[in-house]
């Protein structure tokens, strides 16, 4: 990203959580790859060099889908615990929650904010193994994308829109799938084309996006989901695409820019104004 742009992500004020189990995926494969591709074009050369050992020859776009692809892997973590990393729910009138104790090992992570925090801690811990850092970078890239999909901060009772059936041009689907895949794929673009079309070098917009924290991102998603629930009918078509595709594009753009800012904060010593983003302090 341009050196003259000061990235500023405020310290993530992550507070306690109410969540329910879900098997949903946030953003389809192309959505996650778009986020990774945008981030790749904005990370500094210092950051690129620092993360190279953790990429194992792949790009951010390539590793972005790994946590979803591993959900069918054997083992207690993948079969019973990993799904909790991808989402967060809050009861009406309650704030999204964060338990610092849950970030001490990957087995105890209980929501997306804790997953982001665990990944950041692991990546900055000099005692972490290479395998642990590769795991954490893959999850961090994925979870920043997840946090920008509205229905990964949706309602627990309908599993983030998965239980709400809709018809998309006479094709039966659900509200979650409509937003994570169908509205993206409707553009009929490859992930590289999509990323190129929505990427930005507008320094003022980038600075605005980065004046935020992971908690901000899920709150934005929750507020969007609340509106989408209200205005989505059983059948959706051209007018729905027209009204909502700009939201999808903005969220993907924000996720890519914010992922780059977060990675630069973690790995580029010149980004001193981002030191607070690494403290992840808890709001009492």
What domains are defined for the chain? Answer: 29-278 (1.10.575.10)
The pLDDT tens digits for 68-86 are 999 889 999 999 999 999 9
The pLDDT tens digits for 252-276 are 999 999 999 999 999 998 864 444 3
Q: How far apart are CA 191 and CA 36, in angstroms?
A: 10
223-228 CB contacts, 8 Å cutoff, 24+ apart: 224/150, 224/251, 225/150, 225/151, 225/153, 225/154, 225/155, 225/160, 225/161, 228/150, 228/151, 228/161, 228/175, 228/179
The whole-number pLDDT of residue 271 equals 66
The residue among 104 and 279 whose pLDDT is bigger is: 104
pLDDT at 18 over 60: no
The pLDDT tens digits for 200-215 are 999 899 989 999 999 9
Mean pLDDT of the chain: 86
Which SS3 state, helix, strand or coil, does residue 21 take? coil
Q: How far apart are CA 223 and CA 236, in angstroms?
A: 21
Residues 185-198, mean pLDDT to the nearest whole number:
97
Q: Give the pairing type, strands 171-174 and 235-236.
A: unpaired
pLDDT at 11 over 60: no
Query: Taking the CA atoms of the chain, what radius of gyration do you get in angstroms?
Result: 18
Tokens representing residue 14 in the block: 């992550």
Q: How far apart are CA 22 and CA 83, in angstroms?
A: 7
Closest CA to 233 of 248, 219, 243: 243
The residue among 81 and 95 whose pLDDT is bigger is: 81
The pLDDT tens digits for 232-252 are 988 999 999 999 999 999 999
The whole-number pLDDT of residue 89 equals 84
The pLDDT tens digits for 152-170 are 998 888 988 899 999 999 8
Q: How far apart are CA 38 and CA 57, in angstroms?
A: 18
């Amino acid at each position: 990203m341009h050196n003259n742009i000061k990235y500023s992500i405020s310290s993530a004020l992550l507070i306690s959580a109410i969540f329910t189990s879900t098997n949903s995926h946030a953003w389809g494969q192309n959505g996650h790859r778009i986020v990774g591709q945008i981030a790749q074009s904005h990370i500094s050369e210092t950051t690129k060099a620092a993360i190279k050992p953790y990429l194992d020859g792949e790009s951010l776009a390539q590793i972005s889908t790994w946590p979803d692809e591993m959900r069918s892997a054997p083992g207690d973590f993948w079969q019973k615990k990993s799904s909790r990393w991808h989402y967060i729910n809050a009861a009406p009138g309650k704030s999204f929650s964060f338990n610092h104790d849950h970030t001490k090992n990957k087995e105890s992570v209980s929501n997306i904010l804790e997953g982001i925090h665990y990944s950041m801690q692991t990546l900055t811990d000099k005692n972490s193994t290479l395998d642990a850092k590769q795991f954490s970078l893959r999850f961090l890239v994925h979870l920043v994308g997840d946090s920008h999909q509205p229905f990964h901060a949706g309602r627990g009772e309908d599993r983030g829109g998965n239980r709400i059936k809709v018809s998309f041009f006479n094709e039966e689907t659900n509200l979650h799938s409509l937003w994570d895949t169908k509205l993206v794929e409707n553009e009929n673009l490859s992930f590289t084309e999509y990323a190129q079309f929505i990427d930005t070098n507008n320094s003022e917009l980038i600075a605005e996006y980065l004046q935020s924290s992971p908690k901000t991102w899920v709150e934005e998603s929750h507020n969007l989901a609340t509106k989408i629930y209200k205005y989505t009918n059983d059948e959706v078509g051209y007018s729905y695409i027209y009204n909502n595709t700009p939201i999808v594009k903005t969220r993907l753009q924000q996720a890519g820019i914010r992922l780059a800012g977060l990675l630069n904060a973690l790995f580029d010593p010149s980004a001193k104004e981002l030191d607070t983003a690494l403290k992840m302090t808890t709001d009492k």
